[in-house]
Amino acid sequence: MDKETAPRPHVTPPATALGLGLRAHREHRGVTVRGLAADLDLDPATVSMIEHATRRPKLDYVIRVLGYLGVAGTEYRRLVALAEHTEDGYLLEGGPIGYPVLRLEYERTADAITEWSPALVPELLQTPEYARAVLDAGMLTGDEVDEGVMLRLARPDADDRGPRYTVLLGEPALHRRYGGTHVLRVQLRHLLTAIDERRASVRIVPREGSWHPSLIAPFTLFEFRKRRPLVTLDHHYVGAYVTEEGPVTRYQESLEHLTAQRALSERASREIIAKAAAALGPARDPGWSPPLPGAACG
């Protein structure tokens, strides 16, 4: 079977999270791959493959490496639990505040990202003020909100040097004034800039229309050239990662349905965003006004 028709490997979320954890602790200790391999009489290539999730380690390997690196307590138990489930096609990752290491890895390595967000501008396109308004819903302390905003800002924006980034955005997100009118106005302005700079393809899904199961909740599809696609499901307390072929295919079909039958074109979507921004009234910055519908559309 040639390379083009060979099946893509099933790199599971637990194996990826385990590899990232082992690599982070090794680097924190200032130990190189070759140094760890020499001290533990291991093959450097094996260490590298395990850290990159292209090879799944045995439990005794993980325990041995964690002992060598001095990892203990909660983090030790977390990584051992991941090692016991590297074959699983699913993973639940806790929250609500914390650096989304696993999702960041998928954002960094994916060749295409498609995000369905029915009621909220996605994190990769949020302004700091909008992110703060979303996080500050009375369920977190002030320090947790500050940390959450900081962590979101630390993530790189989608741009034309990275993966293809497509957002299917529910029309309600253009009108929900999280943080007030000014915050939404600036957010819509930021969204228009991202579109014009081609950092993202944004398609608006109107409120009107028949019911479809995909309208229930947001999800993101990550696609890769050299491995199977996966879906992430985000909740305010838990993030779920799905790689099993059957469920992922159903989510792909949902995105195809939304794109083909419900979403507006890129041009029409930009126009409706511009109209929503204009409806919010004059900007505080006298040097800027919402672009006219259809402006800068290619």
Average pLDDT over residues 243-266: 94
At residue 7, does pLDDT exceed 70?
no
Q: Which helix (H) or strand (E) segment is 274 a member of?
A: helix 266-278
pLDDT of residue 186: 96
Query: Which letter does DSSP use for residue 262 in this model?
Result: I
Rounded CA gap, 164 and 153, in Å? 20
Rounded CA gap, 100 and 150, in Å? 12
Answer whether 55's CB lies under 8 Å from 46's CB.
Answer: yes
pLDDT of residue 103: 86
Answer whether 56's CB lies under 8 Å from 35's CB.
Answer: no
pLDDT of residue 174: 97
> What tens digit of pLDDT does each residue of 56-75 get?
999 999 999 999 999 999 99
Answer whether 47's CB lies under 8 Å from 37's CB.
Answer: yes
Q: Which helix (H) or strand (E) segment is 245 a member of?
A: helix 245-257
At residue 185, does pLDDT exceed 70?
yes
Q: How confident is the model at residue 296 (pLDDT cuts 50, 70, 90)?
A: very low
At residue 298, does pLDDT exceed 50?
no
At residue 162, does pLDDT exceed 90?
no
Look at strands 112-117 and 219-223 and give their pairing.
antiparallel
pLDDT > 90 fraction of the chain, expressed in percent and rounded: 64
Look at strands 164-170 and 112-117 and give their pairing.
parallel
Q: How confident is the model at residue 239 (pLDDT cuts 50, 70, 90)?
A: confident
The highest-confidence range among 156-160, 271-275, 279-283, by mean pLDDT, is 271-275
* SS3 (DSSP) at 100: coil
Domains and CATH numbers, the chain: 13-88 (1.10.260.40), 92-278 (3.30.870)
pTM of the model: 0.83
Q: Which residue has the higher pLDDT, 154 or 289?
A: 154
Widest Cα–Cα separation across the chain: 68
At residue 153, does pLDDT exceed 90?
no
> What tens digit of pLDDT does each residue of 62-112 get?
999 999 999 999 999 999 999 999 999 999 877 544 557 788 889 888 999
